[in-house]
A and B are shown apart, each in its own frame.
Chain A
């Protein structure tokens, strides 16, 4: 085996470690926080009070109208300039969750709006409050509707986390860059990094299909 292939084989370990200890936890943490925020934003968008609707719309508009890389730089390089210093990991999680929230808020809003009016009627009929109706009746059905688009958002996020390498978070791609800088074998190592991303995304897609199959026992 030539040196190049041996080096590539040796790089696989650090890259998989980078994926398991960097990429995946970063994506999971950002997605969970982002989704919680998205739920809040979606409920504000759906509310009847303009005081709540307007900021939620503005938020979604700003996030969707600006590049993720710029958002990441604002948090990591911009905030310290005004005296707010956040370490790489938290700042990456912050930027990614704010970004995820902007995109998935629309998914959640659409899913809540897609739950038929009659479901609210039936819940209210039995005396449920607005909050209980959301919790017990509407959100479980909205979740079912939102699983496919949210899974897609999550897979997109896993790939987007490679940008965190630019703010010094040691994840899969930063590992690849470090090794490539050392060996100078850019082609082989970056293709290898791409293949590891691909493998992670294939695994996630399989998980997505399994989840959807489990949720199809009842149809909406």
Chain B
């Protein structure tokens, strides 16, 4: 649990620093020079039109997609430089610093909820199984799905699956939590619950990057908002500034369209 992350002395240290990040998919340039910083216990909301590169950005931060150029420093890990082949080979190191919650959950269907949460800490991080299981049970209980611990993902509702996905990421004790559109795959009546949950995590001091279309939610939990447009951060700042008085026409249009 991240209680130690709330130490005031460490609050201003960057947990994530991204400089000049470029990435392409199938030869098409998707990220065209992204700079971002997230401080300890900070919550960055990334907003932007469909196809602007939000998911690709999260994937790069976790090393799932290998960027073409630029630099990423995450948590206490070393800098990963993407400007040469040797640096790009270090991309998988980023995975030890951050954990990702996927838009479509991507739970392992052949494992119970409990096993989904425990497999990373036990098999990869080689932590003691009994302690990991205790911690996993506490996470599932806390997310209101303690009684579903031995259910398989296809026996869980979308909202419950998402909670398992969140528990799975938290159990890895990452320095940085990456969440891709937590509300988009959910029934509307479940949206409030997950936003509540995420707000609690933010209040607890988890450092997060959240991609979202819910501007009210972004305004609520984020201390910083970045508007991504065609692979660039067109505008960023505190939620009040970006959402209420955007400088760019593009941002204004985007915010206006989503406001209804």
Please list the residues of chain A having a beta carbon within 8 angstroms of any beta carbon in chain B: 116, 118-119, 121-128, 132, 136-137, 140-141, 144, 217-220
Q: Are B99 and A125 closer than 8 Å at their CB atoms?
A: yes
Q: Are A122 and B108 closer than 8 Å at their CB atoms?
A: yes
Q: Are B172 and A220 closer than 8 Å at their CB atoms?
A: no
- Supply 9 further A-B pairs (C-beta < 8 A) apart from A122-B102, A125-B64: A118-B106, A119-B106, A126-B119, A126-B168, A127-B95, A127-B120, A128-B123, A136-B119, A218-B155
Contacts of A217 in B (CB 8 A): 152
B56 in contact (CB, < 8 A): no
- Find B106's partner among A122, A128, A144, A218 (CB 8 Å cutoff): A122
Most buried by B among A132, A137, A217, A218: A218
Q: Are A121 and B119 closer than 8 Å at their CB atoms?
A: no
Q: Considering the chains assembled together, what is the distance between the CA atoms of A133 and B102 in angstroms?
A: 17
Known contacts A144-B110, A218-B153, A219-B154: does B119 contact A125 (CB below 8 Å)? no
- Find B92's partner among A118, A124, A219 (CB 8 Å cutoff): A124
Within residues 87 to 138 of chain B, which ones have a CB less than 8 A from any CB in chain A? 92, 95-96, 99-100, 102, 104, 106-110, 119-120, 123-125
Q: Mark B48-63, 1 if CB is under 8 A from A, else 0.
A: 0000000000010011
Q: Which residue of B lies closest to A144 (CB)?
A: B110
**21 pairs from A and B in contact (CB 8 Å cutoff):** A118-B106, A121-B106, A122-B106, A122-B107, A123-B108, A124-B64, A125-B64, A125-B99, A126-B124, A127-B92, A127-B124, A128-B120, A128-B124, A132-B123, A136-B119, A136-B123, A140-B110, A141-B109, A144-B110, A218-B110, A218-B153
Distance between B129 CB and nearest chain A CB, rounded to angstroms: 15
Q: Mark B32-67, 1 if CB is under 8 A from A, else 0.
A: 000000000000000000000000000100111000
Interface residues on B, range: 20 to 34
Q: Considering the chains assembled together, what is the distance between the CA atoms of A144 and B124 in angstroms?
A: 24
**A interface secondary structure, majority:** helix
Q: Are B109 and A118 closer than 8 Å at their CB atoms?
A: no
Q: Are A137 and B64 closer than 8 Å at their CB atoms?
A: no
Please list the residues of chain B having a beta carbon within 8 angstroms of any beta carbon in chain A: 59, 62-64, 92, 95-96, 99-100, 102, 104, 106-110, 119-120, 123-125, 152-155, 168, 172
Contacts of B155 in A (CB 8 A): 218
Q: Considering the chains assembled together, what is the distance between the CA atoms of A151 and B230 in angstroms?
A: 50
Distance between A217 CB and nearest chain B CB, rounded to angstroms: 6
Closest 9 CB pairs of A and B: A126-B120, A118-B106, A122-B106, A218-B152, A127-B124, A219-B154, A127-B95, A140-B110, A125-B100
Q: Considering the chains assembled together, what is the distance between the CA atoms of A218 and B153 in angstroms?
A: 8
Contacts of A119 in B (CB 8 A): 106, 108
Q: Considering the chains assembled together, what is the distance between the CA atoms of A128 and B168 in angstroms?
A: 14
Distance between A133 CB and nearest chain B CB, rounded to angstroms: 10
Q: Which residue of A lies closest to B103 (CB)?
A: A118
